[in-house]
Chains A and B, each alone.
Chain A
């Protein structure tokens, strides 16, 4: 927490949401008017299985303070098993991020269904608090033009 008269620090968080569950859950949060901090910038993908771990690094390299990745609950995937593919990848990238010394809490994974508007708002609140507590992204990753954009 930054003291004094400066405004509290507002992180910017890249949110990858699957179209069928988490994006729908985010819509539902809207329909229910469940308020949450205006910190996320959403990138809609068909399925959490679509999320290449490199996107997470890319987001961090481009100055996002945190990342939220969210898909259907295990078992609920619209494409049958995409979120299992995602889960395996996330487990690996999570251990890589730990290994290179990225603070825990910058990159967050959660499952939000299309019926969980309240939960979506809670997830964003939680992620925002965690990332805010860590302060701005200090730049473990730098933009290098490599990776996924060729």
Chain B
């Protein structure tokens, strides 16, 4: 019996992966049930201080997503909850969620913290990694959603002991709570939901460093884990971002990081690389230096520096060369406490050349690896999923996101260590997979937010309401908030002004709505934090109160006032008054702005017919959209046609053939092979692309998946001797039993050919693993062969570490060389000789080679520049496409409606290409699911009476949104194209063109109050 599918999804785990999948799916028409084990959404990201390689503040980039997810009408969030039972099959699952009692009503709780201030129980604060204490009633972090406290019943006195001799042991929190939110009688409950699919992203746990006694963790106070160090650096951490040792508050001047703690360790069965620790250690070292007001000496002890991600190598270089972070390739024997009573730690280690040294440090940071969490393992058991020997979920080969059960997908570290961008990619990919599975049910269970009709305020007397936020103590402890309120009351148009502890809290929003009605406000000003993060939230409240969202302005009195003038409270207060006044002036002159709606063409254009392009095309086609796939070659498949095996032994020829067949057969895919793009015009919702053959394609979104190229080596006699070949060539030679390999006995692999050098200052990511795989293949085919791999750092990240170990066990010899002493290939008669300086012996060794395999770099696609111009999307210095945000928008461009994946973005392996291609399809699907394209409407507008049709505006407009109508001799703005930068308005010689929301008149009026 075939049952109809259900247009709802269960997402387990509300870290960045869960939040991303939830938003993608809820935005494209599916109801989301988001289950989170802890009391708040956010996962690990809120604990991190900064994120590599951009050094963005982790909390700041996450918090808009938290707010969006928390407020989304079609995302139901279950905190303190776990999945306990599931039944059914893909398309139709029944899931039982067990929600533990929180003892606090999240609807009533205002997050004020009165309960915590009276709670007598102090326990270690898990969020701060046990540095510092929290109460038994607590909120994980200040920006947490739900913005509500929770009672930890294992530690709450009343929950533990109840009533003794007719008296409550403790109910101080209940007395303190003004909102009546606390209910100690609350019970656990079970909730049944029906969903069509599931996405699992329960995250990870960090390795427990006390398991390795030689590092001294838990015994020596000056040894901390990397996550503890993040909390020490964090402005919201236990020491407010003041970098001190937790136990004596001494400012460390000499800090060491020890890499691979709990990773790459076969003795404890963790023989995998956690992939993220090298980068986070470098980041922590750089930030520690930037953060501290005294010079800090930083050293990283490592085995191989694995900076294989996009722009990571540059980050490593700058840490070494600009910031002066020291890197010591070494093995650690042990860490001991210094005998001088300083509390310092002494690291005993051996260097590469065998010297044994000791060095004393103020603080030692252990770069702990990632492990499968206990609840992740439990979840795999409940769902009967295949897991690998490390306890991580095992994904189906070459799917990027599929677990062993149909209809259940995974993202993030659940299936193995990965960093944030990879996690976000997988999350969007999983969402895409769900959307493909449930496409017929799209839009069946979602509801649309209804706003009250917008009040017409035109011509009304301006009535401005001002809200000044304390932001807990963030603003209030520096700026005299009551004084700013009193000042605001004296400003023209202001009819009321008040203060809020947290203006962004749910209760403050409710009160703001009530005050708008009570005082008949038609302009609102909030003086709090940054409009960049919080403007949408307040604008939402305005809409709910029936006001146009643009009758509003914000003054940033936190990030740009209290936080940066901490020692000058009076001046900060004066500045807060001035900034509030400027905002009042601007808001009072603000007019309602109507959003602009434009048609959405629901077809997609995919450029590139390799694995990435075909995968994206299929995903979108399965989601129900029409897809045009353009490939300049006459056949599909791209560079993958030259692969024999995937990194997990998959038969690539069969895989590619199958993919090509699916693409050929799919009724929603129109192929355009053997042709190129000639011209592109348009924007999200209505692009028109012209092909070489004259054909015109109308489409709403575009996906750029044009792949990369193999670097053509100029070095090591490549091209001069046929026995010197690239990895792709050796792979082909081994398959075809080429005469060059038939009788070969000595193989030399040379790594980093055209990578990590001046010409291409990045790591090509895949070549270390590829060489190891090829070397193992040689050994299998010819066990007597002598195989050497000459490398700089072995970057066999993740599970590829096992291959590296197997290679060493199989007798493959690894010789390290340094950047300045690259191997030399010479020809003596007919013999190829490779000379390399051995790092252990310290002298050159000569190897006679029958085959030399060069790990040639992956370089950017040749057509990148053309597409970059056509679609107005940027390239990085090396010619790869540059995403909108390196962490959280890894497949989007800042140009709406254009997406990317695959090697055109950066070097990566096939599995990763597939995940990213699905992610791009997922993000494109979100855009395509909208009936209309909506833009805020903060555009340029023309006063026809003043315009002289001089054309200056047209000349400066980079969006090509302004053009001069030569018949009527007046400039015309295309609202669909206008991005609202205002360059035209500032360039107009007669003041005819202006910008909504930022008019000349507004700015002049603001300046007049100076």
Contacts and interface: CB of A to CB of B under 8 A. Distances in A.
B769 to A, nearest CB: 31
A86 to B, nearest CB: 8
B558 A30 contact: yes
B563 A30 contact: yes
A49 B983 contact: yes
Q: Give chain A's interface secondary structure class.
A: mixed
Interface in A78-123: 78-82, 85-86, 89, 115, 118, 121
Interface stretch (B343-351, B569-577, B596-604, B680-688): B569-577
B1010 A41 contact: yes
Contacts of B985: 50, 52
Interface residues of B, number: 57
Contacts of A42: 556, 560, 579, 582
B567 interface: yes
Contact of B983 (A41, A50, A148, A149): A50
B574 A38 contact: yes
Nearest to A76: B874
A59 interface: yes
B1001 A38 contact: no
A129 interface: no
Contacts of A148: 991, 1000-1001, 1003-1004
B560 A46 contact: no
Given A46-B982, A47-B981, A58-B1004, A33 B290 contact: no
Given A31-B563, A38-B571, A82 B983 contact: yes
B565 A35 contact: yes
Interface string B556-596: 10111101111110011011001100100000000000000
B44 interface: no
B958 A80 contact: yes
B570 to A, nearest CB: 9
B582 A46 contact: no
A115 B311 CA distance: 15
Contacts of B560: 26-27, 29-30, 42
A41 B563 CA distance: 15
Contacts, number: 167
B1004 A149 contact: yes
A149 B575 contact: no
A120 to B, nearest CB: 9
Contacts of A46: 938, 980-982, 995, 998
A115 B56 CA distance: 7
A33 B981 CA distance: 29
A121 B564 contact: yes
B55 A26 contact: no
Contacts of A115: 54-56
Residue among A10, A33, A64 with max Cβ neighbours from chain B (10 Å): A33
B979 A79 contact: yes
Contacts of A63: 1010
A146 B235 CA distance: 46
Contacts of A64: 1007, 1010
B953 to A, nearest CB: 11
A59 B1008 CA distance: 8
A71 B579 CA distance: 20
Nearest to A67: B1007
B554 to A, nearest CB: 9
B241 interface: yes
Interface in B525-581: 530-532, 556, 558-561, 563-568, 571-572, 574-575, 578-579
Contacts of A31: 57, 60, 235, 559, 563
Interface in A40-65: 41-47, 49-53, 55, 58-59, 62-64
B959 interface: yes
A26 B560 CA distance: 6
Of all A-B residue pairs in the complex, the 8 with the closest CB atoms, nearest first, are A30-B559, A149-B1004, A50-B982, A49-B983, A79-B981, A38-B571, A30-B563, A80-B958
Interface of A: 10, 12, 14, 19, 23-24, 26-38, 41-47, 49-53, 55, 58-59, 62-64, 78-82, 85-86, 89, 115, 118, 121, 143, 147-150
21 contacts: A29-B564, A30-B558, A35-B564, A35-B565, A35-B567, A36-B564, A36-B565, A37-B565, A38-B571, A38-B572, A42-B556, A42-B560, A44-B531, A46-B998, A47-B983, A49-B983, A50-B986, A58-B1004, A64-B1010, A78-B981, A82-B982
Given A26-B560, A32-B57, A41-B579, 19 more contacts: A31-B60, A33-B235, A33-B241, A33-B566, A35-B565, A38-B564, A46-B980, A46-B998, A47-B982, A49-B986, A52-B985, A58-B1004, A58-B1008, A80-B959, A81-B983, A86-B983, A115-B56, A149-B1004, A150-B1000
